[in-house]
Amino acid sequence: MKEIDLNNDPLYILTKAVEEGDPEANKKIKDLLNKSDNPSEMRYLEGLLILLGEQPGELEDPPDFEDDPDEYWQENDYFEV
């Protein structure tokens, strides 16, 4: 398996920036997110944005609402119509 050079790995660098409170982290993450076409990388970057207080983007699922009647029937419908 190939070793990852953490000093040159953009995801590691951005994660450290978020942990250390870098004020430019938000912009750097959005720049990389706009350039990426890897769904896993994009989801990870959106997770970093969420940690910074941003709203989830199109890859993140919206919060699950309890007692949603439409969702109840979708999740508990055991019969095909």
**Side chain identity at residue 5, one-letter code:** D
Per the structure, how many domains does the chain have? 1
Domain assignment of residue 81, yes or no: no
Number of residues that make up the chain: 81
Please state, for a pLDDT cut of 90, what percent of the chain lies above it. Answer: 36
Domain assignment of residue 36, yes or no: yes
The string of pLDDT tens digits covering residues 41-72 is 998 999 999 899 887 666 555 555 566 555 55
**18 contacts 52 by C-beta, under 8 angstroms:** yes
Residue holding tokens 């989801």? 43
Q: Residue 75: CA atoms inside 13 Å, Cβ hemisphere, count?
A: 9
* Domain range for 58: 10-76
Domain assignment of residue 16, yes or no: yes
Domain assignment of residue 3, yes or no: no
Domain assignment of residue 5, yes or no: no
Range in 2-6, 7-11, 51-55 the model is least confident about? 2-6
Residue holding tokens 């009647």? 69
Domain assignment of residue 50, yes or no: yes
pTM score over 0.75? no
